[in-house]
């Protein structure tokens, strides 16, 4: 991610929280959109959520790269919270996409086993 080398650890953590929080909100909106029957809009919202998560992951990865290059990372509750936020949102995205895919398969072929 461009420009993260000059950010403090706290700023990076807040960026992770911001982007994963945006993704989480978008996923929740997408679920409501799907309930209203708009599958195309749902897919567009999930794509937006994926982009937000990508930003959060890139910020996180840049910090991992710094540490791998010998720059010490001081662990903080804020960083742990940001990582937890990121991973729980990623799980939410994965589960939402998987459940919708299963539901679509049952709608297309309700007698399909598995």
Write out pLDDT tens, residues 47-106: 999 999 999 999 999 999 988 999 888 889 999 999 999 999 999 999 999 999 888 887
The DSSP letter of residue 7 is S
Cα separation of 59 and 10, whole Å? 12
Cα separation of 35 and 63, whole Å? 38
Clarify whether 81 is annotated catalytic: yes
Distances, alpha carbon 101 to alpha carbons 25, 30, 38, in Å: 20, 14, 14
In 3D, which of 30, 82, 47, 44 has the Cα closest to residue 61? 82
At 2-53, the pLDDT tens digits run 566 688 899 999 999 999 999 999 999 999 999 999 999 999 999 999 999 9
pLDDT on residue 87: 97
pTM score, whole prediction:
0.84
Catalytic residue among 57, 60, 81, 85: 81
């Amino acid at each position: 991610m461009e420009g993260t080398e000059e950010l403090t650890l706290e700023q990076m953590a807040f960026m992770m929280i911001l982007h994963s929080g945006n993704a989480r909100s978008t996923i929740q909106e997408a679920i409501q959109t799907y309930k209203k029957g708009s599958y195309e809009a749902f897919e567009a919202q999930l794509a937006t959520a994926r982009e937000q998560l990508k930003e959060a992951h890139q910020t996180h990865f840049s910090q991992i790269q710094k540490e791998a290059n010998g720059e010490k990372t001081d662990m903080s509750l804020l960083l742990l919270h940001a990582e937890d936020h990121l991973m729980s949102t990623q799980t939410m995205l994965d589960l939402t996409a998987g459940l919708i895919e299963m539901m679509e398969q049952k709608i297309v072929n309700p007698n399909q086993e598995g």
